[in-house]
């Protein structure tokens, strides 16, 4: 168990809908990262927060947004969902940027 908790584990929704994925980092970790993993694209970095502030952005679509709250948990919001958004979404945390990442078990999103 990495200590990173993601909910829900599975999410099935329809195109055009909006969903929220939640992540609780390991105790004491200030950095939270979101990654998307699909079969053809591998593990793609979406966005990173450090102590509530956005630190880095990757290939995150404008339809996606994220935030990190004062208690350090993070949420990834996906809106106007498309079939191609179906993927595993991972959250990871680390004590400090550039340190080892610890991954959660992921949320499997299926858009039908």
Partner 1 sequence: QKEVEQDPGPLSVPEGAIVSLNCTYSNSAFQYFMWYRQYSRKGPELLMYTYSSGNKEDGRFTAQVDKSSKYISLFIRDSQPSDSATYLCAMIIQGAQKLVFGQGTRLTINP
Which range of residues in 17-25, 47-55, 62-70, 71-79 is near partner 1 by CB under 8 A? 47-55
For the chain, the three-class secondary structure string (H helix, E strand, C coil) is CCCCEEECCEEEECCCCCEEEEEECCCCCCEEEEEEEECCCEEEEEEEEECCEEEEECCCCCCEEEEECCCCCEEEEECCCCHHHCEEEEEEEECCCCCCCEECCCEEEEEC
Which of 12, 56, 82, 110 binds partner 1 (CB under 8 A)? It is 56
Min CB(47)–partner 1 separation in Å: 10
In the complex with partner 1, the residue whose CB is nearer, 35 or 81, is: 35
Q: Does 55 bind partner 1 (CB under 8 A)?
A: yes
Q: Does 43 bind partner 1 (CB under 8 A)?
A: yes
Q: Does 4 bind partner 1 (CB under 8 A)?
A: yes
Min CB(90)–partner 1 separation in Å: 6
99: number of Cβ within 10 Å? 11
Q: Does 34 bind partner 1 (CB under 8 A)?
A: no
């Amino acid at each position: 168990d990495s200590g990173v908790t993601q909910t829900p584990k599975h999410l099935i929704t329809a195109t055009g809908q909006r969903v929220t994925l939640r992540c609780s980092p390991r105790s004491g970790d200030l950095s939270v990262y979101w990654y998307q993993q699909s079969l053809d694209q591998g593990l793609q970095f979406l966005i990173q927060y450090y102590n509530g502030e956005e630190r880095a952005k990757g290939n995150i679509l404008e339809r996606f947004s994220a935030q990190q709250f004062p208690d350090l948990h993070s949420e990834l919001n996906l809106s106007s969902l498309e079939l191609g958004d179906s993927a595993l979404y991972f959250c990871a945390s680390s004590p400090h940027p550039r340190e080892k990442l610890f991954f959660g078990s992921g949320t499997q999103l299926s858009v039908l």
